[in-house]
């Protein structure tokens, strides 16, 4: 008789969630940097994709600041999925396997169902955010949509505090929700071949058990992505893969193995 675990037992087993130190996110970045340096061509390929996507959207929508700002937020929301190949590269190095760039390109095939459902959820969230963003612009702009120069003038002027508070408040709400449900969910889906609901629950539990380290990690992600975008997206060539590799190590530190003793009190 086959003693392998059934698909149901794989999908619905909930792993133990570890507690980490406040400064642990810096360790994730250090280990992510080591992964990047160990596989520079493969890692920088993904970074080049991030930078190219940002540059393309900047060029195509350069006269539509409302669409560009919305797509920029969507770029951040989709980041965990776009970094699947980087998670695969980090896993290869962790296992002592040779770099297999081709395998990293199709790593999503290891859990097509779970990752596909998760991407569908992210797509719905992005569409809702896009609508909310456009409504925010419409509420505060009685004329045509502003140019980039006028947009930056608006967000740096204290006379536009209602617009600033609303625009960034809505963005922060959606970003926080996505971060809570995806901080370790995609690496978990890739590594454990779980379902999307369990992966989202694991991610939320990791946040609940480690609120301060997770807040620090979120700030570091925003800082690194901000640096990448402030350099006309060219900086994403490095900061993108760095965050991707580091996210794998965040997952490995936060989520225990199925047979590991849970240290919940």
Q: What is the pLDDT of residues 51-102, one digit of tens each?
A: 888 787 777 655 555 555 555 666 666 677 788 999 999 999 999 999 999 9
In this structure, the chain runs to a length of 265
185-189-190-194 Cα dihedral, nearest 10 degrees: 160
Q: Are 58 and 66 in contact (CB under 8 A)?
A: no
Single pTM value for the model: 0.79
Quickly state the pLDDT bin for 4 (edges 50, 70, 90): very low
Q: Are 42 and 104 in contact (CB under 8 A)?
A: yes
- Kindly report the average pLDDT of the chain as a whole number: 80
Quickly state the pLDDT bin for 154 (edges 50, 70, 90): low
């Amino acid at each position: 008789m086959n003693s392998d675990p059934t698909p149901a037992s794989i999908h619905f087993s909930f792993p133990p969630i570890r507690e980490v130190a406040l400064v642990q996110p810096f360790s994730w970045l250090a280990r992510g940097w080591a992964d990047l340096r160990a596989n520079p061509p493969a890692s920088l390929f993904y970074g080049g994709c991030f930078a190219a996507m940002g540059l393309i959207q900047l060029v195509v929508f350069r006269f539509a600041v409302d669409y560009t700002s919305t797509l920029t937020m969507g770029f951040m929301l989709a980041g965990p999925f776009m970094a699947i190949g980087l998670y695969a590269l980090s896993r290869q190095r962790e296992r002592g396997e040779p770099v297999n760039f081709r395998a990293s390109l199709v790593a999503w095939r290891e859990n097509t169902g779970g990752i596909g459902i998760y991407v569908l959820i992210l797509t719905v969230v992005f569409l809702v955010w896009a609508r909310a963003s456009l409504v925010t612009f419409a509420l505060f702009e009685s004329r045509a949509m502003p140019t980039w120069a006028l947009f930056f003038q608006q967000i740096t002027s204290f006379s536009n505090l209602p617009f600033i508070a609303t625009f960034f408040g809505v963005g922060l709400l959606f970003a926080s929700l996505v971060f809570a449900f995806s901080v370790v969910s995609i690496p978990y889906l890739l590594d454990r071949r779980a379902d999307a609901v369990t992966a989202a629950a694991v991610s939320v539990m990791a946040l609940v058990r480690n609120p301060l380290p997770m807040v620090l990690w979120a700030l570091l992600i925003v800082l690194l992505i901000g640096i990448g975008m402030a350099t006309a997206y060219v900086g994403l060539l490095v900061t993108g893969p760095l965050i991707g590799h580091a996210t794998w190590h965040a997952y490995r530190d936060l989520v225990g193995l199925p047979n590991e003793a849970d240290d919940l009190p």
